[in-house]
Amino acid sequence: MRDNELIRCEGVWKVYNEGRPYEVRALEDVSLRIQRGSFTLFSGPSGSGKTTLMCIIGTIHRPSRGGVYLNGKDISGFSDAALSRIRRERIGFVFQNFNLIPKLSAWENTAAPIIPLCVTERERRQRALQLLNRLGLMERAHHRPEELSGGEQQRVAIARALINDPEIIILDEPTSNIDVENISLLIGILEDLRAKGKTILASSHDESMLKRADLIFELRRGHLTGIRTP
């Protein structure tokens, strides 16, 4: 199984405001392994460190201590430029509040990450529309975020995360801002992605999500307190 390991955290700590009176130990000595092509869930109460951990794995934050390995390579010492390259090429992040750009249409939001690449607007639009179509949003392609429902906004955020065809997709609380029907749709999308070999990480408390996961990591106050299967 080890050769199929994609992500490894070894003794990861994250201390916000280190050395100051309002110091927060968001993660303490977290070690874990994630297999390529698996669906991993992080569960635990609010404030337990789920977002922090996923941001560290997603190269958005750096650990205060410890190693984060991608494909066996410790990325914690990488330069900012190298980390943003990994983020751009290999990771798709779906934020809890979706973080869509209000002034842009669904397809423009979807295509935003590939603007820095040298592709024509026509190609960007084509790639975005293809993804939106796959996510059942073809008729919403020219709508702005405020004209979309929560579930639709989330699917635009998923489309944007997928535009670079990343190997890792990270979703922070994807079930918290959508209704039951959209949760079923979301699960279908995630299973489809897993079938395509993607590695999926998410935080969620939703039972139907928990049932679909390959592995569930439980966090409490910054500690990894349990690992279980559904």
Residues found near Mg ion in the complex (CB under 5 A): 50-51
- Distance CA(91)–CA(88), nearest Å, equals 6
Distance of closest approach, residue 51 Cβ to ligand ADP, in angstroms: 3
- One symbol per residue from 59 to 98: x for binding ligand ADP (CB under 6 A), - otherwise; what is it? ----------------------------------------
* CA atoms within 13 A of residue 86's CA, in its CB half-sphere: 22
50 binds ligand ADP (CB under 6 A): yes
- Distance CA(185)–CA(170), nearest Å, equals 17
Task: Name the segment binding ligand ADP (CB under 6 A); options: 49-57, 72-80, 81-89, 190-198.
Answer: 49-57
Distance of closest approach, residue 96 Cβ to ligand ADP, in angstroms: 9
Binding ligand ADP (rule: CB under 6 A), the pick from 5, 15, 16, 177 is 16
Of 26 and 106, nearer to Mg ion (C-beta) is: 26
Q: Residue 16 binds which one of Mg ion, ligand ADP, none, with CB within 5 to 8 A depending on kind?
A: ligand ADP
Binding ligand ADP (rule: CB under 6 A), the pick from 37, 47, 136, 151 is 47
Of 37 and 47, nearer to ligand ADP (C-beta) is: 47
- In the complex, residue closest to Mg ion by CB: 51
User: Which ranges in 115-223 belong to alpha helices (H)?
Assistant: 121-134, 150-162, 180-195, 207-212
Helix 150-162 vs helix 180-195: angle between axes, to the nearest 10 degrees? Answer: 10
Binding ligand ADP (rule: CB under 6 A), the pick from 51, 59, 199, 204 is 51
- Distance CA(217)–CA(32), nearest Å, equals 9
Of 59 and 110, nearer to ligand ADP (C-beta) is: 59
Distance of closest approach, residue 91 Cβ to ligand ADP, in angstroms: 17
Please state the separation of Cα 201 from the chain's center in Å. 6
- Distance CA(4)–CA(50), nearest Å, equals 23
What the block records as the tokens of 196 is 């395509």
Rounded alpha-carbon distances, angstroms, from residue 213 to 116, 126, 183, 205:
34, 32, 14, 12
Distance of closest approach, residue 44 Cβ to ligand ADP, in angstroms: 6
* Strand pairing category for 215-220 and 39-43: parallel
- Distance CA(51)–CA(62), nearest Å, equals 13
24 binds ligand ADP (CB under 6 A): yes
Binding residues for ligand ADP, rule: CB under 6 A, are 16-17, 24, 26, 44, 46-52
